[in-house]
Structure 1
Amino acid sequence: MATTYTENPSNFSEVESFVETEISEIKSIFFSIEKVFFYDACSFQRHSNLADKEKDILINYYCERGIAVFITRCILMELASDQHKLIEKYIAFIKSMNDAGVPVILYNEEFTYDILSECFSSNDKINEYLTWAVRMVKSPVSTIEETLKSDAKLYSEVIEGKTVKSSDLYKRFFTTVRGNKEHHDNLGEELISICVHILSYLPGVFDGKLCVLTDDKGAAGKIDSVMRRTNPQNRGSKIILFSTPKFVQHMFQEHVEMSEEAMINLISQGRTGNITVMGITAFDLKVDEKISMTSRELVQKLMEPNGIKIVF
């Protein structure tokens, strides 16, 4: 039986007071916050299952570094899954971040239009960013492609760039695509990719302000390919892609206090067997896409000076 999704989990009231949903506040947070972290479903699931000690390391880092956590509507749909409700661990993780002072944003993807409208007065310009991003992200076999193929009007507007003066194009596109979400598709990651790609063009959004946390190599590849397919002279600010191992190394390099065991627990959560990363060691001339070792060996390697640089 196919998995069905809902935009509004049946127990959303249990988490509603811990997340920001008002676009006026979201715009204010976006422009004033130091960094924005978009969570993919797989990383959110893993981090919510951490023991309190390791979870607190992440939350304290978010708080101290001025980070806002963004959970897109499509990712919320994935977290609620076919049960149409959020499990207690997800709710507890969101509550813990909120209690620590970390802004947690429920981000409807169409809010991207509202944020861009703060800087661009022309709908033509704002809609052009959506057209370009969707062209870069969509693939021959995807929920986005199937949605556009079945909706000639939306296709002409989004892909062909017709009727670019429409003020509701973002809302119609994102709500229609979310309504066609299917089990095991990559829609959550694709919509994050579209949003961060567009937001990266905003004036004042510096390199590294926008970050995506994902432990899905396919999702990371999708986001990275959008950046690479865009001509260098037309690219926006640089977006950071963090896997959990890369993020642990980043925190270690920033001198976050955490034990070797805590680092091992952070990296190994939700995994069995060896950890495989993309990286480069002191003796490599190029990135190795399949460096495989135990979580303890990997942590010891990243703690060594020039031991390993994790790319993903």
Structure 2
Amino acid sequence: MATTYTETPDNLHEIEASVITEINEIKRMFYQADRVFFYDACSFQRHSNLKDTERNILIQYFEKQGVTIFLTRCILMELSGNQHSLERRVTDYIKSLNDANIRVILFNEEYAYNILSDCFSSIERINEYLMWAVRMVCSPVSTIADTLKADSRLNSEVREGKKLKASNLYQRFFSAVRGNKEHEDDLGEEMIAICVHLLSNLPGVADGKLCVLTDDKGAASKIDSVMKKASRGNQGTKIIIFSTPKLVQHMFWGHVEMSENEMINIISQGVSGNIGIMGLTDFDLEVNPKISLSVRDLAQKIMEPNGIKIVF
């Protein structure tokens, strides 16, 4: 049976007190945050499975770094899955983040329009950013491509750039695409890529404020490609793409207290056998995309001075 999705999980009420949904508050939190982390579903699921000790280490790092978590509506749909309900471990993780004063934003992708409209007075200019982002993200075989093929008006506005003066274009586009989400498509990361691209164009947003946390190499590659393919006039600030191993290394560099076993427990969540990473060792002149190590060996490399620099 094919997976069906819902934009509103049946048990959303369990986390309503722990997430921010009001757009004016979302805008305020976005500007106040030192770092904004867009969580991909794969990483959120892994981190929600951590035991209390390791979960608290991660949460303390977020708190220290001034992180605000953004969960896009599409990622919430993926986390709800075919059961249309968030698992207990997911709701518990969200509550734990909130209890530690880490703001969790439930971000409808079309809210990017509301944030951009605070800085750009021209609707046409704001819609142009969406046009370029969609062009960069959209692959020939994808839910976005299928949605636009089925709606000639939406395609002419969003991808062809005709009649860019509609103030509801963001809402119509994102709502239509979410409504066509299919099992195991790449829509979650594609929507994150679009949102990050859009927000990176805001004046005053510093390099590194916008981050994506994903353990899907394909998703990371797509998001990175979108940012690099954009024309010079449509390139925004630099974003950081974290995998869990890369995040753990940044935590270690930031003097977060954790033992070798705690580091191993965080990295190994959701991993069987060796772990593949992209990185640099003392023997490399360029990034090696196929480093394979046991989780323990990787943890020891992270803790070893000049042992490894993880790119992803």
TM-score (structure 2 length as normaliser): 0.99
Q: Is the 8 A contact 2:5 2:82 kept in 1?
A: yes
Which amino acid is the alignment partner of residue 240 of structure 1? I
Per-residue deviation, 1:234 = 3.9
Q: Once the 2 structures are TM-superposed, how far is the Cα of residue 150 of structure 1 from its aligned partner?
A: 0.6
Aligned to 1:56: 56
Matched ranges for 1:217-296 at <5 A: 217-232=217-232, 234-296=234-296
Distance in 1, Cα, partners of 2:251 & 2:232? 29
1:16-27 superposed matches below 5 A? 16-27=16-27
After TM superposition, the structure 1 = structure 2 runs for residues 27-66 of structure 1, keeping only pairs within 5 Å, are 27-66=27-66
The residue number in structure 2 matching 1:14 is 14
SS at match of 2:127: helix
Q: Which segment is superposed worse, 108-117 or 282-291? A: 282-291
Unaligned runs of 5+ in 2: none
Two-structure CA RMSD over aligned residues (Å): 0.7
Partner of residue 309, structure 2: 309
What are the superposed Cα offsets for residues 48-102 of structure 1, whole Å, 9 maximum, x if unpaired? 0001000001111111211100000000000000000001000000000001100
> Aligned with 1:277: secondary structure?
strand
Match for 1:276: what amino acid? G
1:299 maps to 299
Partner residue, 1:103: 103
The residue type equivalent to 1:244 in the other structure is T
- Partner of 1:143 in structure 2? 143
Large movers: runs of 4+ above 3 Å: 231-234
Q: What CA distance in whole angstroms lies between the structure 2 residues aligned with 1:138 and 1:65?
A: 33
Question: For 1:111-142, what per-residue CA distance to the aligned partner results, in whole angstroms no more than 9, with x for missing partners?
Answer: 00000001001100100000000000000100
User: Offset of 1:231 from its aligned partner?
Assistant: 3.4
- State the distance in 1 between where 2:111 and 2:180 align: 19
SS at the partner of 2:45?
Answer: helix
Amino acid at match of 1:26: I
Distance (whole Å) between structure 2 residues aligned to residue 145 and residue 269 of structure 1: 34
1:85 corresponds to: 85
- Distance across 1 between alignment mates of 2:309 and 2:63: 25
* Partner AA of 1:16 in structure 2: E
Q: In terms of mean alpha carbon deviation, does 300-309 or 190-199 score higher?
A: 300-309
Q: Distance in 1 between matches of 2:231 and 2:118?
A: 26
Q: What residue is the counterpart of 2:68 in the other structure? A: 68
- Tell me the alpha carbon deviations over residues 17-51 of structure 1, each in whole angstroms, 9 at most, x when there is no partner: 10000000000000111110000000000000001
2:2 match: secondary structure = coil
What is aligned with 1:155?
155
Q: State the SS of the aligned residue for 1:195.
A: helix
What CA distance in whole angstroms lies between the structure 1 residues aligned with 2:292 and 2:32? 40
Any idea what SS the aligned residue of 2:286 has? coil
C-alpha distance in 2 between matches for 1:59 and 1:268: 17
For 1:271-298, what per-residue CA distance to the aligned partner results, in whole angstroms no more than 9, with x for missing partners? Answer: 1000110111011111111100110000
Q: Percent identity?
A: 66
